[in-house]
A = this chain, B = another copy of it.
Amino acid sequence: VGIDPVWERLPAAIRSRVDNSSDERRARAHLEAIREYVASMFEVVAPHVPCVKLQSACFERYHGPGVVVYDQLIAMARGMNLIVIGDAKRGDIGISASHYAAGCLADSNYSDLGNELGPDALTINSYFGDDGIAPFVKVAAEQGKGLFALVRTSNPGGDAIQQLQLADGRRVCDAVAEVVAKNGSNHVGKSGYSLLGAVVGATKPEDAARLRELMPQQIFLVPGFGAQGGSADDVRACFKSDGSGAIITASRSIIYAYEKSDEKNWLKAVEAATVDMKRQVAAILQ
């Protein structure tokens, strides 16, 4: 389940409690509401799914204090034995990439920052090639953590770059897939998967089978299921024939499920949407 909390869309039950806060503490009040909302999401989804993905942008929007809450929520989810993916899509080279890996993925080695537990995995951008990926792989390997590098994104605009045909017949996203496969090949665990996975959007079924072949050692993180239009049929090719190899994520269709039904019983609406999505994904694997 993808957690992309936006103040304006929180349930009225939570918003009304802080909506009248003074301007002098408005951001703090919004952040408190978001923290409460996300903690409730964890409680509701934890019995049903193995993994949550937290959208960093929704917290960075509140600057330093937002990042503090993001870190706290990551630690909370890990304490509940959820696998936590930090969806921060960082990308840079050299020392900058190493610093992003230390800040956004590693468990902190600074006790005065509150002993933050980093997420279990981080999303990264692949456009820099090898030397943009290697510093993240190094830290992930040291820490026993994972990465998902962007290969094929779920938005329509990605086509203008990722879907272009190369002179040798491949697509741009194929070339990126090969860079990712190569960079992950030295870090493959006993299940046959690398610590370096790939982001492949649920809305691109025409590419999924080919990318699955090009990246046999990559776990696919598959966003865009639900609200963005990706269906169960669309994501089938992201799995291997043994049913492993893909993490399907839905965000808005689950965490805002109450908008379309019963706002008063918002937690029940979220749980029903979670179970419904789980059933859809299970049906793919039969």
Interface residues of A (CB under 8 A from B): 4, 6, 23-28, 30, 55, 57-58, 60-68, 71, 87, 89-97, 99-100, 102-104, 108, 110-114, 116, 125-134, 150, 153-162, 164-167, 169, 172, 175-176, 179
Q: How far is the CA of A89 from the CA of B131 in the complex (A)?
A: 15
Chain B residues closer than 8 Å to A63, beta-carbon distance = 67-68, 71, 103, 108, 110, 113-114, 116
Q: How far is the CA of A285 from the CA of B23 in the complex (A)?
A: 50
Interface pair B129/A25, CB less than 8 Å apart: no
Q: Is the interface of A mostly helix, strand, loop or mixed?
A: helix
Q: Offer 9 A-B interface pairs, CB within 8 angstroms, sorted by A.
A: A26-B111, A57-B99, A60-B99, A63-B113, A64-B67, A87-B96, A129-B161, A132-B153, A164-B166
A174, chain B: closest CB distance, angstroms: 10
Q: How far is the CA of A130 from the CA of B153 in the complex (A)?
A: 12
A108, chain B: closest CB distance, angstroms: 7
A244, chain B: closest CB distance, angstroms: 27
Interface pair B131/A157, CB less than 8 Å apart: yes
Chain B residues closer than 8 Å to A61, beta-carbon distance = 99-100, 102-103
Q: How far is the CA of A175 from the CA of B78 in the complex (A)?
A: 41
- Which residue of B6, B57, B96, B111 is within 8 Å of A100 (Cβ)? B57
Interface pair B155/A93, CB less than 8 Å apart: yes
- Name which residue of chain B comes closest to A176, CB basis: B161
- Which residue of B27, B97, B133 is within 8 Å of A110 (Cβ)? B27
Q: How far is the CA of A167 from the CA of B92 in the complex (A)?
A: 28
Q: How far is the CA of A102 from the CA of B93 in the complex (A)?
A: 24
Q: How far is the CA of A55 from the CA of B99 in the complex (A)?
A: 10
Interface pair A128/B158, CB less than 8 Å apart: yes
Q: How far is the CA of A87 from the CA of B175 in the complex (A)?
A: 27
A265, chain B: closest CB distance, angstroms: 25
Interface pair B112/A28, CB less than 8 Å apart: yes
Chain B residues closer than 8 Å to A157, beta-carbon distance = 93, 128-134
Whether A179 contacts B161 in the complex (CB less than 8 A), given A4-B95, A28-B112, comes out as: yes
Chain B residues closer than 8 Å to A158, beta-carbon distance = 127-129, 131-132
Q: How far is the CA of A164 from the CA of B131 in the complex (A)?
A: 17
